[in-house]
Amino acid sequence: MTGDARKVPAGRFARLGAFGQLAAGVAGGVVAEGARRLAQGERPRMADLLLTPANATRVTEQLSRLRGAAMKLGQMISLDAGDMLPPELTQILARLRDSAHIMPPAQLEKVLAASWGAGWRKRFRRFDARPVAAASIGQVHRAELPDGRVLAIKVQYPGVAQSIDSDVDNVATLLKVSGLLPASLDVAPLLAEAKRQLHEEADYDREAAMMTRYADLLANDPHFVVPRPVMEFTGKDVLAMDFIAARPIETLETASPEIRNAAMQAMLGLVLRELFEFGFMQTDPNFANFRWLEATGQIVVLDFGAARSVDPQVSHEYAALLGAGFRGEAAAVRQALIRVGFLSETQFARHGDALDRIIAIILEQIQRIDDFDFADRSFVERIRTEVPSIAADRDSWHIPPAEALFVQRKISGTVLLAVKMAARLPLKAMLQPYAEH
């Protein structure tokens, strides 16, 4: 579902002005909400005043209008923040996954003419002006060549690539002043990595190469279909590829348990192959990047802007973590979690008892994964009871290395889809071949 047409602010000052409007609107909301609560005899905290539904709506609307890195980071927060954010804010930020405005026809025409020349329409039998999808960095159109071949044409929003660094810095500043991130937390390495990855995602020539590499890896896998780029129409701002008519992956929810389980076994198996065999991963777990071909039972994999090589050391540490878990060695699990960077020595020093209880819950669960029911989240609730005290200690907050963070994001996103599908999988048989012995 695409949004309303609205011009993308392309210039640096236009985008800076949009952030200024956002800051002013949020500040106004803080003042109004603060006055209301004071009148009711409350002494509200600044974080409570910032994280109101009204302010979240302001942020959502403005980031949707800006698109680019600003919207992308909002999407990542909504997907990855989990229990760290109030549920109202998480729900509203989740709208960023499908609320992008589209370019007006005149702006679209200007981008395509710059890429293909003024007479570009003569090269197509048909070009649908209304996009079939709109996301953070570009929108996708359906087109048909004179020979009948149907293409998907991804068109990048103007100014997005040039605004990445400033957009990331501006969003980081918003998070800092909101009080969501403690001042002691060093986010500089993560911001640098976010900028690097977003620049890669905005490079459509690179994405075409990543798509080809991924298609080659899965060329003989009957479970998946990967489009191929059409280089004749591909350049810096436009990416052309095969159009594959398929349904959203979420439509599998209404399929039989056998079909759902087979699809999720293929998807989770693919993540394991990416991590341990390919050394190459499509790291964006957004559900929109996976579609379902009902007629053949295949899964279409899309969007390779975030595809990247996996650090061999990260693969090794995941294998060590699996091995320690299967052996039931709590101390080895603890060390593997520290080495891969998910937890720090400081956190174990300050919250060792709670973290050891979490590890014990996980080790207990590993004994039951011959036929794992993703819909049974009772053990997650037990883990959550241990989390608040750790999360409340903001001075011990820790950001894992980017190499592990992007891998874990893909794993977590796939698990989230398995939960949504209420899948039952033979996890032990799937994981053991990759565990370090």
How far apart are the C-alpha atoms of 72 and 99, rounded to whole Å? 12
What string of DSSP letters covers 367-416?
TT-TTEETT--HHHHHHHTTHHHHHH-GGG--PPPHHHHHHHHHHHHHHH
Q: Residue 161: its pLDDT value, please?
A: 83
Residue 249 corresponds to which amino acid? I
For 110-160, what is each residue's pLDDT tens digit?
999 999 999 999 999 999 999 998 777 889 999 999 999 999 999 998 888
- Taking the CA atoms of residue 326, residue 331, residue 332 and residue 338 in that order, the dihedral angle to the nearest 10 degrees is 120
| Residues paired with residue 153 on neighbouring β-strands, in sequence order | 141, 240
DSSP 83: G
Residue 271: per-residue pLDDT: 98
State the pLDDT at residue 84.
43
DSSP string covering 193-231: HHHHHHHHHT-HHHHHHHHHHHHHHTTT-TTEE---B-G
What's the pTM? 0.80
Taking the C-alpha atoms of residue 51 and residue 73, their distance in angstroms, rounded to an integer, is 17
DSSP reduced 3-state for 62: helix
Instruction: Residue 319: count other Cβ atoms within 10 Å of its Cβ.
Output: 18
CA nearest neighbour of 412 among 287, 310, 225, 328: 287
Backbone angles phi, psi at 119, to 5 degrees: -95, 30
The neighbour count for residue 13, using CB atoms within 10 Å, is: 9
Q: How far apart are CA 273 and CA 267, in angstroms?
A: 10
369: tokens are: 């994964």
The rounded Cα 268 to chain-centroid distance in angstroms is 16
**pLDDT value, residue 56:** 58
Q: Could you give the strand order of the β-sheet that contains 224-225, starting from the edge strand earlier in sequence?
A: 224-225, 298-301, 290-293, 247-248
Q: What is the largest CA-CA distance in the chain?
A: 72
> Which positions are annotated as active-site residues?
284
Count the neighbouring beta carbons within 10 Å of the beta carbon of residue 353. 9
Written as tens digits, the pLDDT of the chain (437 aa) is 455 555 544 444 444 444 445 444 444 444 444 445 445 555 444 444 445 556 555 555 555 555 555 555 554 554 444 444 445 455 555 555 545 567 888 999 999 999 999 999 999 999 999 999 877 788 999 999 999 999 999 999 888 888 788 777 776 776 666 555 666 667 777 778 878 888 898 999 999 999 999 999 999 999 999 999 999 999 989 999 999 999 999 999 999 999 999 999 999 999 999 999 999 999 988 888 999 999 999 999 999 998 999 999 999 999 999 999 999 999 999 999 999 988 889 999 999 999 999 999 999 999 889 999 999 988 888 988 888 888 778 778 877 888 888 898 899 889 989 999 999 999 999 999 999 97
Distance separating alpha carbons of residues 328 and 325, to the nearest angstrom: 5
